[in-house]
Amino acid sequence: MTVVERVGVRRDAVVVVLAVSSPVLFLLGGLAAEAAQPPGTYDAIGQTVSTLAGRGAADRWIMAAVLATMGVIYLLVAVGLRGVTRSARLVLGVGGVAAVVAALAAQPVHGSSTVHMVATVAALVAFVLWTLPLAADRTLDPGLRRGSAVAAVVLTAALAWLCAQAWTDGTWLGMAERVLILAQTVWPIRVAVAVWRGPSPARSDAGWATAALAVLAPLVLVVGLAAAQAAWPGPDPWSQSFSALAGHGAPRRWIMTLTLVVGAALHVLVAAGLRHRVPTPAWALLGAGGVLLLVTGLNPQPVAGYSAVHMVAGGLAWLAYTLWPLGLARSPDVDPALRRGSAIVVAVLAVLVLWFAFQLITSGPWYGPSQRVVLLAQTVWPVVVAVRVPRPVGHHATITPGPDGRSRSS
């Protein structure tokens, strides 16, 4: 490898770090900004991050700095992505600049700032549209093109949800905005890593993206749970369920709701990444578990009584997460060691679910811990499978920057 090539690889690695730092900054900064507000004055489910950065917020500099920094990050990512088409980089860069303008043009205490609103809309739309040149560029590898098309559809749906909430004064406006912003941080990471990865067969065979998403799921669960419990210190965490922390009775329920939604989305993406590497029943059940968990998170328990949708979706999600390894255990095409391990995992998860059910029915003292153990245990096997099962030969694709700075299939 020449000196120029080494410099290029290092630059690509820096771009990856920048892209990955954006969602982390948004989550941590959002928690800090929300914690700085007086109790009972801010509802993250119904209120936007613009409110946290607005002139009526306490310590508004926290969220304003987060949003401005994210804008600068995406401007740097756009400049550093040497392996993609210029039009995509231009749109991504425009989104970054618009985000900085939106952060600096704070919303007033009363009314609305035209500059802020225009810049916010421009940023959100740009972060959706930049995927379209990637999907249309025939010089890119087919996998990245297909993924960009899927990303465009998903982001458009999330943007439509946000618009619907804004136009109807919906109670989920803040959640819709947060879901869209977090979703928009995913594809820059995917593209940046694809460029950094280069044509190395060893790395492309490793299924790095799926493994990374699988590892991220338990981390999100642990961090979100800790934050949700810290925001509600009164009740005993040993008797608190995830449903209670995300329910209407929780003071900052958006934390646990967002944790469940992000964790569910990660497992849906993991299932999609495994679809060509494991039997269909396995990845389909894992993906179904993620979708059901998403439904569970978006249908919280009321202050009194129960939500039938929440209970049914949650129960089916647990069933899917417990049974998905059976698709591996029953397939003769799977490595024998992985088949045996999957069978053992199903048995262990079944025992843990029965333990939780017993605690739930009897109002046992281990109700909270049993649920936490089950949910964390259910995140382990996707990590093992994503790392253990290689991508089929000939199915992976990489992108290699050509002499004109555009990516080529390899």
Picking from 132, 164, 198, the residue at the C-terminal end of a domain is 198
pLDDT value, residue 202: 40
pLDDT, tens only, 187-215: 998 888 788 766 444 444 336 678 878 88
**Residue 26 included in any domain:** yes
42, 36 contact by CB (below 8 A) = no
Separation of alpha carbons 240 and 318, rounded Å: 18
DSSP string for 235-250: S-TTT--HHHHHSTTS
Is residue 162 domain-shared with residue 85, that is, in the same domain?
yes
Is residue 176 domain-shared with residue 29, that is, in the same domain?
yes
DSSP string for 291-308: HHHHHHHHSPPPSSS--H
Is residue 128 domain-shared with residue 260, that is, in the same domain?
no
Is residue 3 domain-shared with residue 127, that is, in the same domain?
yes
**Residue 402 included in any domain:** no
pLDDT value, residue 219: 82
Is residue 310 domain-shared with residue 361, that is, in the same domain?
yes
Is residue 115 domain-shared with residue 261, that is, in the same domain?
no
pTM for this entry: 0.61
Is residue 380 domain-shared with residue 259, that is, in the same domain?
yes
**Residue 139 included in any domain:** yes
**Residue 409 included in any domain:** no
Picking from 198, 216, 240, the residue at the C-terminal end of a domain is 198
As for how many domains the chain has, the answer is 2
Picking from 132, 167, 198, the residue at the C-terminal end of a domain is 198
Is residue 178 domain-shared with residue 301, that is, in the same domain?
no
pLDDT value, residue 5: 56
Which one, of 180, 68, 50, 66, lies nearest residue 124 by Cα? Answer: 180
Q: What's the DSSP call for residue 36?
A: T
Which one, of 84, 109, 118, lies nearest residue 15 by Cα? Answer: 84
**Residue 406 included in any domain:** no
**Residue 145 included in any domain:** yes
Is residue 181 domain-shared with residue 137, that is, in the same domain?
yes
pLDDT value, residue 225: 82
Which one, of 102, 114, 268, 83, lies nearest residue 181 by Cα? Answer: 102
Is residue 266 domain-shared with residue 337, that is, in the same domain?
yes
**Residue 376 included in any domain:** yes
Instruction: For residue 131, give its domain range.
Output: 1-198
Show Cβ contacts of residue 1 under 8 Å, excluding neighbours closer than 6 positions. 9
Which residues in the chain come in under a pLDDT of 70?
1-9, 197-208, 233-238, 390-410
pLDDT, tens only, 139-195: 887 878 888 998 999 999 999 999 999 999 888 898 889 889 988 998 998 888 788
Show Cβ contacts of residue 138 under 8 Å, excluding neighbours closer than 6 positions. 145
Is residue 248 domain-shared with residue 378, that is, in the same domain?
yes
**Residue 229 included in any domain:** yes
Show Cβ contacts of residue 249 under 8 Å, excluding neighbours closer than 6 positions. 301, 302, 303
Is residue 226 domain-shared with residue 280, that is, in the same domain?
yes
